[in-house]
Structure 1
């Protein structure tokens, strides 16, 4: 009986919600008719949201629905900001100071060669590296044999010696010197790209898969060229058979060919994924407090964990530059090693 009364009350509320705005609409000016129509829609939605509760009362879900919509809007906005930060674009945003629209160029054979923010970051990194190494080179030219480098030159010497001994020489062995310039360049280039992506208004160029793919392609061609020079064409082709009997070539040759391309693919995805994931995690932690609208969450979760991940990203910036360089050296060493090459590498 109590439930039937609740249902009757609901029906009365629905009819009243529809009739009252219509009656009022007859007495309001024509300019206010749109507002009355909005009232009809709102009242109908409000009446439809009334549901009988287990104890015979009435539950109104309008407030809860509005809250859910607000949360969904905040999540959508957060997602847009995150994607805008990690993806390449033709706009450099300097909020709240404004933004810079980069010039758009006409298509070249159907390819968009316009300048983007990642292209600008690549240019900036290149200029910084040229200036730094030119300054370091000038410092060494002025030094005497008994002088020791200091400051920036000392730091660069430590990095160069690390790449020369622990990366190039230990993985390539004999003849590592001719590959050292490339390994040094790619290490410093990736490292600086990673670090500049962590500064305010910066962009991580290595978070663009086109950039990492290009670097991996460089390593691929250098590796294949080094293998051809070390073994000759006949030895290079024999490597594709892995020294097996001719009856197994139908299996081994496709496997070896696929293996040639899985190495640059691994270099591409590893660097791209690690640099992109770090920025997504940091921004996601920051937006948790905005979505939940809680100072407690901001103080206890968002800020501390964002700072921790940010500091971890500095370490990851060095680590990913080292891993890319070390794997490049390892691939070159494996491609150029001869019979008894393990002993030779160990000796050097």
Structure 2
């Protein structure tokens, strides 16, 4: 349903952009794309005016060869320096700033709400109790149930970091003049790569390097290895790819739908449209508040499932403990369940 709404919004906005007046009025599609895309500046819109306060962010280019980062002009226009051209771009962008802000706020709230007084078993305050409830939920319902009682607590710090970091980035995008860093494919890809590294490390730790490589054969006859090994190898990368696209698409879709609903006022050019579009946009906004928690949960749950599948490699290598070891820790059950997600 969300994909259909986004497709409809994009199509309608494209038609509106094509039929925009020649007076240079900014199109709705252009405004939406400008808002959700990354930029090298922070832009603060002044309410009830056309003024914008722009804060230009530092541009950092590191040339790997002489003149690699110099701007070049071609017949098709200016060419942006790229890594393939020998230029490393470490410039600070809008999404980078809000990613750092989310990390700063996360560390601040952890220091404020953490129960550092070990003499008090129960934390005091609404924030501290809410924080503890979420931590116990991630530990008991995600880590232990999907990875196992023995190995699950080992990966709780990573899962907690991923959950709260994604949650804070998602929530920042719901405030005026701010942006959601998880609406950037590079950010979600970086998070997925972290899960990928932890998953492979969990599999190697549980089964050993030899058992990890043997798992890539799928347990089939050696005559079928030339088919199974490429399939299993590609399967290692489909999981982080799914994490990347799922989080990126869901967070980006909500912002596009909200702006499109508000943009209907300018597309239809009648103030009465606001009586319908504004309440609908507010409803989607409340839905996005819920989605911010859901997407943080989904990313963390899938990460726990993938780590549990890696841990299960070690149990597959023990014939005697195949039945009993899984009953105690649980990775075997969740390994099968993960294939249906």
Is the shorter-chain TM-score for this pair beyond 0.5, marking a shared fold? Answer: yes
Residue 70 of structure 1: CA displacement?
A: 4.3
RMSD: 2.1
Residue 72 (structure 2) aligns with: none
Scaled by the length of structure 2, the TM-score of the pair is 0.77
Residue 122 of structure 1: CA displacement?
A: 1.2
CA contact (8 A) 2:62 2:88 kept: yes
Residue 344 of structure 1: CA displacement?
A: 2.7
Residue 316 of structure 1: CA displacement?
A: 0.6
Q: Residues 99, 249 of structure 1: CA spacing in aligned structure 2 closer, same or farther, 3 A cutoff?
A: same
Which residue, out of 132, 141, 146, partners 2:109?
132
Residue 217 (structure 2) aligns with: 241
Q: Does 1:202 align with 2:178?
A: yes
CA radius of gyration, larger in? 1
Structure 2 unaligned blocks of 5 or more: 1-17, 47-51, 65-86, 317-321, 334-341
CA contact (8 A) 1:171 1:345 kept: no
The correspondence of residues 104-253 of structure 1 with structure 2, limited to 5 A, is 104-109=59-64, 110-137=87-114, 140-142=115-117, 144-145=119-120, 147-173=122-148, 174-253=150-229
User: Partners of 1:125 and 1:326 in 2: how far apart?
Assistant: 21
Which residue, out of 100, 105, 110, partners 2:55?
100
Residue 324 of structure 1: CA displacement?
A: 0.4
Equivalent pairs counted in the alignment come to: 278
Residue 32 (structure 2) aligns with: 82
Name the SS of the counterpart of 2:54 in structure 1: strand
Name the SS of the counterpart of 1:141 in structure 2: coil
User: Partners of 1:192 and 1:309 in 2: how far apart?
Assistant: 19
Q: Residues 225, 108 of structure 1: CA spacing in aligned structure 2 closer, same or farther, 3 A cutoff?
A: farther
CA contact (8 A) 2:147 2:305 kept: yes
User: Partners of 2:330 and 2:138 in 1: how far apart?
Assistant: 17
Q: Does 1:306 align with 2:281?
A: yes
CA contact (8 A) 2:41 2:55 kept: yes
Q: Residues 92, 319 of structure 1: CA spacing in aligned structure 2 closer, same or farther, 3 A cutoff?
A: same
Structure 1 unaligned blocks of 5 or more: 1-67
Residue 343 (structure 1) aligns with: 327
Residue 47 (structure 1) aligns with: none
CA contact (8 A) 1:74 1:291 kept: no
Residue 147 of structure 1: CA displacement?
A: 4.6
Residue 265 (structure 1) aligns with: 241
User: Partners of 2:117 and 2:237 in 1: how far apart?
Assistant: 46
